[in-house]
């Protein structure tokens, strides 16, 4: 129910005031910390100066840290840090391994903030067979394993067990930051067991923040206790994929000292990574994976066999039979604790990312807004990739500004710029104050027997026969005007002008099922010959490499910009949405489905920003099984839809 305008306005004002108070307090705290660290560099009385050289200090010009420290001379330090968990059940608290690079001046009194990248990937991991997604008529997996795969996802973050890949060290260390790689529990040189988003993983990465702030115990490789005497106590976390999930997990604990996070293609709720609409739905490209497979696939610690009972528990508790939301998934839902976040959050995601789907970032973005957490966001046209080389100089400018503001308290206007950067279909960028764009409104189109229309047509019943077990969705959506008994396709006529969809498309369908598959899948499709971005990018070697930071032997500090890979095609599946009809009333429980009985079904597709061009047709295609995502029941389920009473609602902006 809509609130009266007065209440809504007051609530917004309170949130804005809360955000301003939080930002102001952080700035004041940050300036105090900075002042304290800079005081160490103030001139001392002449008598004292005779015995010691002036202590080093950051160089700040126009409220910006400048590169004055040597990457080549950086101090390399390894620390094992005690966590608050004992996930391998050996009677001792888990430890995580930190590999730190810091300016050599920190050994002479300079105190610096730290940028952390925690990851389960630094140590590699074994190949693990995936779950079989082909089920029998009783919903049980067929014998044997069909798919195997390497759960070590290809990632720009996965650079090796000791080396420093990427650009953090080249760019940020000379500007007065330490950088740290952290082995997540159960991986690399850490102890404990990986649990695919479990609480112990959050506490593991949190321990790095606590050690930097003087609240956790640490030891050097020889077992000697060591503290972070060189640290200001302030830290940030950044990374992509799993490495972008851990920052949100740690921030949701409210840990002190974590001042900023940059989650790139990160998970905000693991349910929305491995489940959707009450059903078992795979991350794109990893059909048959689940929490147990991923946990086994990243386990690279010594004596990995000690984690077998923990991983067996994941298999038992994740529930691939119903897909219901329960305590297992609640533990892995960081959204419920967004109100505890004290860090400034810079959310990043790609519209073509079907691995970590866009819902994970958009629902985090919305929750941050509701809780008054300072935030900004980048949305780009690629997939599950590092956005830095897409727009290198601007990425470095904005992340540098973000870290300087939150970690060193510099008044650089980080919260005064437009909150959102959005890459357009032509690869240009626009900046705007919100996402979805202000002025976005809902437009509902009816699924009529003769196509999509703003007006309801005759309440005709139309049916399809499920063939998704053997036919991919891309084949089922092709040629919407052709007769195809395995799908229902609804399209508009040729659009008279561009139509911009930005937000969450929502389905409302009156339908019945008869057969073994409980899935209803909706596909939002752009019909029209065009050249469009794909998930991939490629190095743009036609232009000179950009030297973004200080190089060292084996690491030049330079990189090529990247460009989007594109493809020309007659159509594009823009968004997808899935529902297990048994969960039509609740994600947490299943209700009986009577064959042939019509049910009012409502579910969401994945958030998107997409322009349907003038002359193209917008389409909605309904199928049951989605070959690349859902469990695959035996073919033959009949789905009947009441056209005229069914609709799609699109968030449209001009």
Neighbours of 23 (CB within 10 A): 18
Q: Which of 516, 512, 518, 515 is CA-nearest to residue 596?
A: 512
3-class secondary-structure state, position 502: strand
Are 323 and 278 in contact by the 8 Å Cβ rule? The answer is yes
φ and ψ at 123, to 5 degrees?
-95, 5
Q: What residue ranges do the domains of the chain occupy?
A: 22-40+56-432, 441-653
Tell how strand 128-129 and strand 148-149 pair up: antiparallel
φ and ψ at 256, to 5 degrees?
-75, 145
**DSSP conformation class of 88:** T
Sequence-distant (6+) residues with CB within 8 A of 223 are none
Altogether, the residues listed in the chain come to a count of 654
Beta strand segments in 83-194, E: 95-102, 112-119, 128-129, 148-149, 177-183
Q: Which of 579, 572, 543, 575 is CA-nearest to residue 558?
A: 543
Catalytic: 86? no
- CA dist 447 and 15 (Å) reads 39
Neighbours of 274 (CB within 10 A): 25
- Of 241, 252, 265, 562, the catalytic one is 241
Tokens representing 196 are: 């695919």
3-class secondary-structure state, position 429: strand
- Of 349, 384, 400, 616, the catalytic one is 384
Catalytic: 241? yes
Helix (H) or strand (E) segment spanning residue 567: strand 562-580
Q: Which of 450, 578, 574, 460 is CA-nearest to residue 510?
A: 460
Neighbours of 640 (CB within 10 A): 16
Catalytic: 353? yes
- Predicted pLDDT of residue 586: 98
**DSSP conformation class of 545:** P
- Predicted pLDDT of residue 26: 37
Q: Which of 150, 216, 143, 173 is CA-nearest to residue 70?
A: 173
Residue 269, beta-bridge partner list: 333
- CA dist 439 and 443 (Å) reads 12
Tokens representing 231 are: 């640290």
Prediction pTM value:
0.90
**DSSP conformation class of 306:** G
Query: Does CATH number 3.40.1380.10 belong to domain 22-40+56-432?
Result: no
Are 491 and 499 in contact by the 8 Å Cβ rule? The answer is no
- Predicted pLDDT of residue 541: 96
- Of 353, 466, 626, 628, the catalytic one is 353
The percent of the chain in helix, strand and coil, each rounded to the nearest 5, is 25, 30, 45
Tokens representing 357 are: 């789907």
Tell me the CATH number of domain 441-653, given options 1.10.510.10, 3.40.50.300, 2.60.120.260, 3.90.226.10: 2.60.120.260
List the Cα angle 510/511/512 in 5-degree steps. 145
- Predicted pLDDT of residue 3: 28
Report mean pLDDT in 10-residue bins for the chain, 654 residues.
29 37 38 37 41 84 98 96 98 98 97 98 94 87 43 34 73 98 98 98 98 98 97 98 98 98 98 98 98 98 98 98 97 98 98 98 98 98 97 98 98 98 97 97 98 96 97 98 98 98 98 97 98 97 96 92 98 98 98 97 98 98 98 98 97 92
- CA dist 267 and 288 (Å) reads 18
Torsion of CA 152, 156, 162, 167, to 10 degrees: -170
Sign of CA dihedral 552, 162, 85, 265: positive
Are 564 and 382 in contact by the 8 Å Cβ rule? The answer is yes
């Amino acid at each position: 129910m809509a609130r009266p305008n007065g209440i809504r306005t007051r609530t917004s004002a309170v949130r804005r005031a809360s955000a301003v108070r939080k930002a102001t307090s952080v700035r004041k705290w940050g300036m105090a910390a900075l002042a304290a660290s800079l005081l160490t560099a103030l001139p001392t009385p002449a008598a004292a100066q005779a015995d010691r050289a002036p202590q080093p200090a950051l160089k700040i010009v126009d409220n910006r840290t400048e590169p004055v420290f040597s990457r080549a001379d950086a101090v390399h330090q390894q620390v094992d840090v005690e966590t608050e968990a004992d996930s391998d059940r050996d009677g001792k608290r888990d430890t995580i391994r930190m590999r730190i690079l810091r300016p050599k001046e920190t050994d002479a009194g300079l105190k610096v903030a730290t940028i952390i990248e925690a990851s389960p990937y630094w140590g590699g991991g074994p190949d693990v067979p995936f779950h079989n997604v082909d089920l029998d008529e009783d919903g049980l997996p067929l014998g044997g394993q069909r798919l195997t795969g390497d759960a070590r996802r290809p990632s720009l973050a996965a650079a090796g067990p000791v080396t420093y890949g990427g650009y953090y060290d080249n760019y940020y260390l000379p500007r007065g930051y330490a950088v740290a790689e952290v082995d997540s529990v159960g991986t690399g040189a850490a102890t404990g067991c990986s649990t695919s988003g479990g609480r112990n993983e959050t506490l593991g990465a949190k321990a790095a923040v606590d050690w930097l702030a003087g609240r956790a115990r640490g030891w050097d490789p020889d077992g000697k206790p060591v503290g972070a005497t060189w640290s200001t106590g302030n830290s940030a976390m950044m990374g992509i994929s799993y490495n972008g999930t851990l920052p949100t997990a740690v921030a949701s604990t409210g840990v002190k000292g974590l001042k900023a996070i940059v989650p790139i293609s990160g998970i905000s709720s693991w349910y929305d990574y491995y489940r959707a609409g009450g059903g078992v739905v795979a991350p794109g490209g990893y059909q048959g994976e689940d929490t147990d497979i991923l946990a086994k696939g990243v386990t690279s610690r010594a004596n990995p066999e000690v984690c077998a009972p923990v991983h067996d528990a994941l298999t038992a508790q994740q529930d691939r039979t119903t897909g219901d939301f329960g305590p297992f998934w609640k533990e892995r839902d960081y959204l419920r604790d967004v109100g505890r976040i004290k860090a400034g959050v810079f959310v990043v995601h790609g519209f073509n990312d079907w691995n970590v789907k866009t819902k994970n970032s958009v629902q985090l973005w919305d929750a941050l807004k509701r809780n008054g957490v300072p935030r900004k966001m980048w949305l780009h046209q690629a997939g599950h990739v590092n956005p830095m080389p897409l727009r290198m100089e601007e990425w470095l400018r904005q992340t540098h500004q973000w870290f300087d503001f939150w970690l060193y308290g510099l008044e650089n206007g980080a919260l005064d710029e437009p909150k959102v950067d959005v890459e357009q279909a032509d690869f240009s960028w626009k900046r705007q104050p919100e996402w979805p764009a202000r002025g976005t409104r809902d437009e509902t189109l009816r699924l009529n027997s003769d196509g999509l229309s703003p007006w309801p047509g005759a309440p005709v019943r139309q049916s399809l026969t499920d063939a998704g077990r053997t036919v991919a969705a891309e084949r089922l959506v092709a040629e919407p005007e052709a007769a195809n008994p395995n799908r229902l396709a609804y399209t508009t006529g040729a659009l008279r002008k561009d139509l911009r969809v930005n937000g969450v498309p929502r389905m409302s369908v009156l339908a019945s099922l008869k057969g073994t598959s409980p899935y209803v899948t909706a596909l939002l499709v752009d019909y029209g010959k065009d050249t469009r971005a794909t998930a991939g990018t490629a190095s743009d070697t036609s232009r000179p490499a950009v030297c973004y930071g200080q190089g060292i032997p084996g690491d030049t500090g330079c990189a090529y910009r990247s460009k989007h890979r594109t493809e020309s095609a007659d159509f594009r599946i823009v968004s997808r949405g899935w529902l297990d009809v048994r969960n039509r009333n609740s994600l947490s429980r299943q209700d009986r489905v009577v064959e042939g009985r019509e049910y009012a079904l409502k579910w969401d597709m994945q958030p998107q920003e997409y322009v349907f061009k003038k002359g193209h047709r917008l389409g909605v295609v309904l199928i049951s099984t989605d070959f690349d995502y859902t469990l695959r029941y035996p073919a033959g389920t009949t789905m009947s839809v009441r056209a005229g009473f069914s609709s799609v609602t699109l968030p449209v902006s001009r």
